[in-house]
């Protein structure tokens, strides 16, 4: 669940909704300066479905007892990480091993951060081995120890970054961030990259520089459930508020910044 401050409370946006927004955004990727995504269908599926494992969890609000807030995706229960992230990269394995491998790699990087903070986290260590075996089977790459990037073909590293860029842009919009800097954005499949900046005064209307999209102006929207309070004393109180919450829709725009498409 994504928690966006809204008035005196929150608007809760589901992870699958955020992932769908990221795919809508990345659908416009590519222009005379930024190479188009390939293989397009597989990469776009990975972007759209990278948080599909959250569907059941995000069908309800979960109380974080540490702050009384609805638990967001960064505060997931340790025991949930293995199940949710595994569901994300296993759902479409039968028909789309390439897309699922990109999703697995995405969560591998997040999981490694968990291990670096808590080397004794058995669920995270188990997920590490599960992902490595998954990649050996789905990509037929002999994945060894250490950083996975050293074993990956250049195109897979680039397409993983496309997934991450779409994820970051969508999260910035969903949270209403005023400034988002994204380093290492691929210009092409040769390893050339650039830093992209998103800026907004109101958390709704953004400029992007340089512009990687095929259009100079884009519009998107996303909906969530509006809670009128930020903090809740008990899980039952939050559950009731979530059940009664009205819908709220945010309309976003992304327009080319002053640098336009210049990436030189």
The alpha-helical segments, DSSP class H, found in the chain are 15-26, 40-49, 78-90, 97-117, 122-139, 154-175, 235-244
Kindly report whether the global pTM for this prediction surpasses the value 0.85: yes
- The domain segmentation of the chain, as residue ranges, is 2-256
Cα–Cα distance for residue pair 43/47, rounded to 1 Å: 6
In tens, the pLDDT along 166-215 reads: 999 999 999 999 999 999 999 999 999 999 999 999 999 999 999 999 99
User: pLDDT higher for 8 or 185?
Assistant: 185
**Where are the strands (E) in 138-229, listed by range?**
179-186, 193-200, 205-209, 217-227
For residues 251 and 200, the answer to whether their CB atoms sit within 8 Å is no
Confidence band of 146 (pLDDT split at 50, 70, 90) = low
Which tokens is 34 given?
Answer: 């930024």
pLDDT of 238 reads 96
pLDDT digits (tens, 9 = 90+) for 39-89: 999 999 999 999 999 999 999 999 999 999 999 998 887 778 888 988 999
The 205-209 sheet, strands edge to edge? 2-6, 9-13, 217-227, 246-256, 205-209, 193-200, 179-186
């Amino acid at each position: 669940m994504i928690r966006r401050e809204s008035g005196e409370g929150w608007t809760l946006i589901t992870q699958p909704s955020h992932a769908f927004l990221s795919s809508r955004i990345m659908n416009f990727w590519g222009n005379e300066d930024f190479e188009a995504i390939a293989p397009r269908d597989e990469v776009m599926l990975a972007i759209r479905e990278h948080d599909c494992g959250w569907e059941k969890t995000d069908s309800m609000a979960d109380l974080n007892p540490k702050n009384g807030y609805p638990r967001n995706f960064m505060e997931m229960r340790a025991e949930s990480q293995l199940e949710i992230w595994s569901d994300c990269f296993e759902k479409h394995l039968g028909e789309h091993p390439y897309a699922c491998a990109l999703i697995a790699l995405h969560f591998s990087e997040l999981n490694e951060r968990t291990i670096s903070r808590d080397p004794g986290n058995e669920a995270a260590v188990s997920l590490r081995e599960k992902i490595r075996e998954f990649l050996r089977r789905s990509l037929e790459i002999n994945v060894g120890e250490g950083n996975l990037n050293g074993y990956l073909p250049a195109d897979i590293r680039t397409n993983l970054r496309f997934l991450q860029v779409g994820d970051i842009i969508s999260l910035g919009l969903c949270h209403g961030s005023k400034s988002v800097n994204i380093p290492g954005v691929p210009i092409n499949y040769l390893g050339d990259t650039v830093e992209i900046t998103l800026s907004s005064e109101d958390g709704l209307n953004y400029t992007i520089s340089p512009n990687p999209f095929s259009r100079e102006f884009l519009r998107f929207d996303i909906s969530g459930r509006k809670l009128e309070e930020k903090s809740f004393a008990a899980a039952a109180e939050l559950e009731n508020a979530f059940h009664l919450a009205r819908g709220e829709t945010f309309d976003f725009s992304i327009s080319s910044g002053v640098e336009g498409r210049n990436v030189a």
